[in-house]
Amino acid sequence: MPQLSCPQCDQKITVAISQAGSNATCPSCQREVSIPTLRELRQLPDLSNYEEPRESATGRRIVFAILMLIAGTAAVAGLFSAIRYVAIDVPATTETHIAEMERVYKVVPASQLVREWQQMEKFGLDASTPYNYKKMAIEKAKWGRNGLIGLCVFALSAIVATVLGIRDSSQKICDSKLTP
């Protein structure tokens, strides 16, 4: 850090680069001393080899690369899941299944209906496993949910990576404007 001499008592005053163009108080005589501008401070012999420490952008670049990798992976997984969702065709719904059963029961002989009724009383009304169309509907819903999650992760990580990239670019622009 550069050191200035107090004009009244010649006390050395250490100033930071960020104080350029402002005032400082001498610790010895309490007089207010004006600090030169940044250009004048850089011309002082103490500052000829002094360089302001800069924040390393390497960490930010690594985070940017990781986020972009996550975004790419999530986009591929989300699109694959969305394609699977669209590809699964569920042949029936609960409503169509009930309509079909009503149609069949109208043509089935009464003796068979009595046997089915007795089986329902003996074993209960619940089916042991879901019907195939229900299994397919559950599978389709899972692919749809996975696709939505994948695309949301893609969007979120891409936005954060873009913000980091813009911030890194603006930091480079600011650094290039500050260097003489």
* Dist CA 85 CA 130 (whole Å): 20
pTM attached to this predicted model: 0.53
Written as one letter, the residue type at 138 is: I
The domain locations on the chain are: 3-47, 58-178
Please choose, from the candidates 163, 175, 162, the residue with its C-alpha nearest in 3D space to the C-alpha of residue 56: 175
Q: Which residues contact 91 (CB under 8 A, 6 or more apart)?
A: 133, 136
DSSP state for residue 35 in the 8-state scheme = P
Write out the two tokens for 119. Answer: 């089986």
Task: For the chain, 180 residues long, give each residue's pLDDT as a single digit of tens.
Answer: 677 788 888 888 777 777 878 888 888 888 888 887 877 766 665 544 445 555 566 778 888 889 999 999 999 999 999 999 999 999 888 899 889 989 998 998 989 989 888 888 887 777 667 788 899 999 999 999 999 999 999 999 999 988 887 776 665 555 555 544
CB 62 within 8 A of CB 14: no
